[in-house]
Amino acid sequence: MVEPLEARIAERALAYVAGPPSGSDPVIELASPEELQELFGGAVELGFDATADAHADDAILGAVDLVIKHSVHTSHPRFVNQNFAGPDPLAVVGDWLGAALNTTGATFEAAPVFTLMESAVLSKLGRVAGYRDETADQLPTLPPGLFCPGGSTATLYALQLARHRIRPEVRRTGSTGEQLTLFVSDAGHYAASKSAALLGIGTDAVVKVESDSGGAIVTAALEAAIRASLDAGQVPFAIIGTAGTTVTSAFDDLDVLADIAEEHGMWLHVDGCYGGSALFSPSERHRMAGVERSDSFVWNLHKMMGMTQQCTALLVREPELLESCFALRADYLFQPDKLYAEYDAGDRTFQCARRIDVLKLWLAWKHHGDAGFAARIDHAVAMAERTRERVAASDEFLEVAGTFTNVVFVWVPPTLRPLLSLDSLPPEIHAELHALAPRIKARMQAEGTAMVGFQPIGGLNTFRLLYMNPAVTEADIDVLLDRIAEYGLAACQD
Ligand SMILES: Cc1ncc(COP(=O)(O)O)c(C=O)c1O
């Protein structure tokens, strides 16, 4: 008997999860947009005609094979391109199971187990962050936060909460005409500005405060910026502290930010999307000191912890605010007289339907335990340390920045060695160096050997290696650096 199509696709997916590409397998088999369209044309066209015909199972399976072949293999230990990688296999299948049970996390009625699971996991995350007493009730009806569809959305919700605390009437009346201001370092994530735009506060209201050479906020500059805003008659209402900046993984001094927020009666939001997971490691959690004093804290478990995208917890110190900020009490869904209505999470958020993002995290945490989560972080930090040592040991590279799991550096052409600093480079050398990283990366993509990110720092393209995949070994680091050096040399000789 021929198996149904879904079983045949599931077989492929499971085989992929059990043995993702590694070693000499390509990280990507690059094809241009035109080539991809042509390849799919041989199986099932990517596009749709005005009338969409049904396709035979074998043709669809051919297309599925192309999807796998030409996707980026983010499980590969030489995918260090972005701040997600190496999904935990349990998270992948946890996601499938959640999808198979297809429900919404809006009400206990529709998601009894998941509502309690979400409460349990948020409560545990809250305790890890220091929000709740270890002895607190494990399954509160009002957990200290909620799961959100990504860090940017969680930032939007957090800033909505921050404004709601000082101007609850805005929810009903719209803007009061006052100029509210919020503060984030110039190394912070753009989610702050996007949120300000959506909230109607406006991107001009986002004060980008100077960061130091490592990427952490200069707290004296923050204080000066808040004073300047007050002097201008504005209403400073929120500070965003970044714990693990996107490029260098810098951690702002959250304790000092909490002091400043307290002094001015401002909301402190911690963007721990990336670095929040340092909390899992006894030797790394010091970086997060002060997070327990924040009003809200966003933590992307889909970054360092290998949960599939997306898995974002927004923790809120006073969770009662979620209800007063978001609830509209739609009577067809949140009937107060139904069974267990007090457990419903759906009116504490903007969303109506909510994906079940908690199951995969619950499964992984129960399987690995705190010790397994700590080991994942410690391994990532050890790999970054090893990279730093190799970079420092050779005049082929110059480290520019980075801490925790991120190493930011340039490859130095032989004619410039030894290069001791990037300060005051003559313009033609600057331009030559700047052009190298994209060329090296493009060759990596074309050959599929690795995927490494680059970004401008001080106007100069620099490589960023960042680690979170537990499959990365020291041998992978050697290959990554060797390929950068090899392709760099070749680019100089072209
Ligand atoms: C520091 C930081 N904050 C926020 C975000 C946004 O998170 P998301 O991609 O889940 O919206 C990112 C994403 O990379 C990030 O690095």
d(CA 221, CA 12): 54
Binding site membership of 123 for ligand 1 (Cβ less than 6 Å): no
Binding site membership of 274 for ligand 1 (Cβ less than 6 Å): yes
Q: Which residues of 141-150 are buried (b: 16+ CB within 10 A; e: fewer)?
A: eebbbbbbbb
Rg (CA), the chain: 24
Binding site membership of 344 for ligand 1 (Cβ less than 6 Å): no
Q: Which residues, including other chains, have CB under 8 Å from residue 263's CB and lie 6 or more apart?
A: none
Least confident of 14-18, 105-109, 422-426: 422-426
Q: Domains in the chain, please, with CATH? A: 1-28+72-101+365-494 (3.90.1150.170), 103-355 (3.40.640.10)
d(CA 101, CA 79): 32
Contact 65, 15 (CB under 8 A): no
**Average pLDDT for 235-264:** 98
CA-CA distances (angstroms) from residue 47 to 38, 40, 423?
A: 11, 9, 50
User: 309 pLDDT exceeds 70?
Assistant: yes
The 10 Å Cβ neighbour count of residue 186 is: 14
User: Counting atoms of ligand 1 from 1, which one is nearest the CA of 309?
Assistant: 10
Binding site membership of 246 for ligand 1 (Cβ less than 6 Å): yes
**Mean pLDDT over the full length of the chain:** 96
**Average pLDDT for 378-385:** 98
User: Counting atoms of ligand 1 from 1, which one is nearest the CA of 312?
Assistant: 10
Q: Which of helix, strand or coil describes residue 312?
A: strand
For 13-60, how does the pLDDT look when each residue is reduced to its tens digit (9 = 90+)?
999 999 999 999 999 999 999 999 999 999 899 999 999 999 999 999
Binding site membership of 351 for ligand 1 (Cβ less than 6 Å): no
What share of the chain in percent tops pLDDT 70? Answer: 99
Confidence of residue 223 (pLDDT cuts 50, 70, 90): very high
User: Counting atoms of ligand 1 from 1, which one is nearest the CA of 302?
Assistant: 10
Confidence of residue 188 (pLDDT cuts 50, 70, 90): very high
Task: State the Cα angle at 89 between 83 and 90, rounded to 5°.
Answer: 110
Pocket test for ligand 1, best of 193, 273, 310 (most atoms within 8 A of CB): 273
User: 252 pLDDT exceeds 80?
Assistant: yes
**Average pLDDT for 268-296:** 98
DSSP symbols for 387-441: HHHHHHT-TTEEEEE--TTEEEEEE--GGGPSP---TT--HHHHHHHHHHHHHHH
